[in-house]
Structures are given as C-alpha cells and as structure tokens.
Amino acid sequence: MDLINTKILKIDNENPDKDKIKEAARILKSGGTVAFPTETVYGLGANALNEDSIDKIFNAKGRPQDNPLIVHIADIDQINKLVKNISKRAKTIMEKFWPGPLTVIFDKSDIVPYKVTGGLETIAIRMPNHKIALSLIKEANLPIAAPSANISGKPSPTESSHVIQDLSGKIDMVIDGGNTGVGLESTVLDLSGDIPTILRPGGITIEDLLTVFDKVDYDKALENNDENLKPKSPGQKYRHYSPNAKMTIIKGNENLVSKEINKLTKKYEDQGLKVGIMATEEMKDKYENGEILVVGSKQKTETIAKNLFDTLRKFDKLKVDIILAEAIDEKGIGKAIMNRMGKASQNIVKVE
C-alpha cells in the first residue's frame, strides 16, 4: 500500500470553521477518507454509497470484510433512501436518542453496497451528537460509513493522536477536534425481533432503553466468541481493543482482587516481566508494585468509559508485558466497559 500524505486539520468543536469543514467534505465527495471526532470515538469516514471508498476504509484499517460498518447521517430524512422501512418502534427510539450514541439496525435498501453491511441484508445507522461530525456529514450531503479510526483490533481512538499513530500515511485527512466524550463506541440495537435486542452495549444503556420499552435483551453473541459467527454488528465476532500486552481481568471482592493482583504482579515480575495494573481511583493505593495507571472512578463509571482506550494505549507506550485489570460493576455503562475489556483480554480470573 503506497503511503498517502495525510493532512491534519484542527477544528474547534464548539465553533467548527465552515471553510475547513468544506475542505474535509470535498475529500469525502471525491471518494477519499477523513477521520473525524464523534461523541463516542474517532471514526474513519468515507462515502457509504461508493464501493471504492469503502475499500479504502477496509484497507487502511486491515479490517475483515465481513465486519459491518455503521453509517452516519446528519438528518432523519437521509435515512429514507438507505432503508426499506422504518418501524414505529424505530421512530420512537430515534426521536428519543438521536442524535446520540445509539445505532439502529434496519433492512437495507438496494442502493447500499453489501461491502458496507458485511454481506448482510441489514444496515446499521446512527446520528452522532457532535458538532464537527454533523457539520461534516451535512456539508458532504452523503451518508458516511465510519468505523473507529484505528488499526483493526487495536484500542479505539479517543483523541486525534491515536488516529495519527495508527493511520497516518493510510488516509487522506485527520480532523483534530480534541478528545471525545463517551469514550466507547455506540450501542447497537436490533429491533427486528419481538424483543429489542442489544447487539453491542455502549453509551446508551439498557436502563436508558427500558424507559422506552417494557423489555430489552442482550444478544447471545455477546457471550459467544465463536469464530464461525456471522456478525450482525461491529464488535461481535473479532477480538478488539487489544493492547500489545496480554491482559487479565480480576473479578470478585475488592480486598481479594487487590490481593490477587499483588500476588500475580510479584509472580510475573519474578519472571522478569513488566506488569501494568489498570486500577480504579478507589483501589490504586492497594497495589505494591507494577506500573499503576488509574482508569477512573468506580463511583463515576463514565470516567472509566472515557479513559479506557487511552489507558490501554498508555500501557503500550510503557511497553508492559502483562496488564492486570480490576473488573467493573456491570450496571449502567459498566456493561459496555466490561464488554470492551473482555474483548481486549485473554482471560478473567474470579476470586472468592
């Protein structure tokens, strides 16, 4: 793959410069690729209706072709030509949570290339809640396919430096819009069955969805690492978000967790290995050795969501061999945090 001269364009999220947005939109309209911030993570955008442009996303990321892409829109009317129908339930959920970190699955229309949907008859669509993203999509006047702007399998990018580290020389432009807000990818919701089903947990929690629906399920594939699975959503089939080091999650009573992490740290350091400990604010002082990074607070799990991927990348910079991480309570956004940590890790140790 020949190197591309990747342009870095800094844009103020609170007051996006119209001329800079137009410059980025021209690249998308001409078939190029632009990484841009959203409220979740940075996305790598291209024209969702142009197969050559979509190929550029897969090639830059090294992404498996059967892993579906999420299509981003800036106006509800944009959805009409992309889908066969919009159910009453879908309208209700869009009105309540769009713009925001919720992706909804629809039956795709014929104009949507199968390259976007991973060969499926369904399309995943969301409207981001971010001024730069919305301005860019409106100016391009195109549906924009945009998976996370990182090398496939690595931690998702929550600031422009992460994108540049992974994709400089492989894409046309990176918009530097500062740090993202939520820090985890969007929730993906399937409304095709009798019960609304979460295919990937994210910024909109099951508790949020239960304010609209009487019942919401998690897809069984969330607990299934079957390599033969045909993914209905990004993040289902493949190992994701992985740091360079092997990662183990320690789950159980707080005191037992800290003791187990200290014990494992000593064991690995005695073997000459460099150990990283991903600690919460409440537990950080209980660790005796290792490279300790605080990911956030158990009392404010949104801080853990925001910092998770950046923390994993910091461990890469520290060149640790092993990461030992505290498990997080799976209430609220904790479910999404543990989903990402589980995808990034090799195993979970339960202490009782």
pLDDT in tens, 186-207: 999 999 899 999 999 999 999 9
Q: Of 165, 188, 223, which residue constitutes the final position of a domain? A: 223
Q: Are residues 217 and 269 in the same domain?
A: no
CA-CA-CA-CA torsion sign (147, 150, 155, 156): negative
Q: Are residues 338 and 205 in the same domain?
A: no
Question: pLDDT class for 241, splitting at 50, 70, 90?
Answer: confident
pLDDT in tens, 72-127: 999 999 999 999 999 999 999 999 999 999 999 999 999 999 999 999 999 999 99
Residue 285 belongs to some domain of the structure: yes
Q: Of 223, 258, 275, which residue constitutes the final position of a domain? A: 223
Give the mean model confidence (pLDDT) for residues 133-145: 98
Cα separation of 259 and 262, whole Å?
5
Give the mean model confidence (pLDDT) for residues 156-178: 97
Residue 237 belongs to some domain of the structure: no
Q: Are residues 106 and 179 in the same domain?
A: yes
pTM for this one?
A: 0.94
Q: Kindly report the three-state secondary structure assignment for every residue of 111-154.
A: CCCHHHHCCCCEEEEECCCCHHHHHHHHHHCCCEECCECCCCCC
Residue 153 belongs to some domain of the structure: yes
Q: Are residues 83 and 172 in the same domain?
A: yes
Residue 144, Cα to own-chain centre: how many angstroms? 16
Q: Residue 316: which domain range? A: 246-351
pLDDT in tens, 291-309: 999 999 999 999 999 999 9
CATH no. for residue 253? 3.40.50.11030
Find out whether 51 and 44 touch, Cβ atoms under 8 Å. no
Cα separation of 280 and 278, whole Å?
7
Residue 115 in tokens: 């390259």
Q: Are residues 214 and 271 in the same domain?
A: no
Q: Of 165, 192, 223, which residue constitutes the final position of a domain? A: 223
Q: Are residues 180 and 283 in the same domain?
A: no
- Closest by Cα among 114, 118, 25 to 65: 118
At residue 230, the pLDDT reads 56
Number of domain units in the chain: 2
Residue 1 belongs to some domain of the structure: no
At residue 350, the pLDDT reads 96
Q: Give the CA angle between residues 37, 42, 47 to the nearest 5°.
A: 85
CATH no. for residue 201? 3.90.870.10
Q: Are residues 262 and 183 in the same domain?
A: no
pLDDT at 251 over 60: yes
Q: Are residues 185 and 287 in the same domain?
A: no
> 333, exposed or middle or buried, with CB in 10 Å at 0-12, 13-18, 19+?
buried
Question: Maximum CA pair distance of the chain?
Answer: 61
> 331, exposed or middle or buried, with CB in 10 Å at 0-12, 13-18, 19+?
exposed
Distances in Å between the alpha carbon of 187 and those of 27, 40, 217? 28, 10, 13
Residue 232 belongs to some domain of the structure: no
Q: Are residues 43 and 89 in the same domain?
A: yes
Residue 27 in tokens: 């690249």
Q: Kindly report the three-state secondary structure assignment for every residue of the chain.
A: CCCCCCEEEECCCCCCCHHHHHHHHHHHHCCCCEEECCCCCCEEEEECCCHHHHHHHHHHHCCCCCCCCEEECCCHHHHCCCECCCCHHHHHHHHHHCCCCEEEEEEECCCCCHHHHCCCCEEEEECCCCHHHHHHHHHHCCCEECCECCCCCCCCCCCHHHHHHHHCCCCCEEEECCCCCCCCCCEEEECCCCCCEEEECCCCCHHHHCCCCCCCEECHHHHCCCCCCCCCCCCCCCCCCCCCCEEEEEEECHHHHHHHHHHHHHHHHHCCCCEEEEEECCCHHHCCCCEEEEEEECCEHHHHHHHHHHHHHHHHHHCCCEEEEECCCCCCCHHHHHHHHHHHCCEEEEEC
Cα separation of 94 and 348, whole Å?
36
Q: Are residues 119 and 151 in the same domain?
A: yes
Residue 33 belongs to some domain of the structure: yes
Q: Are residues 114 and 196 in the same domain?
A: yes
Q: Are residues 135 and 210 in the same domain?
A: yes
Residue 2 belongs to some domain of the structure: no
Residue 231 belongs to some domain of the structure: no
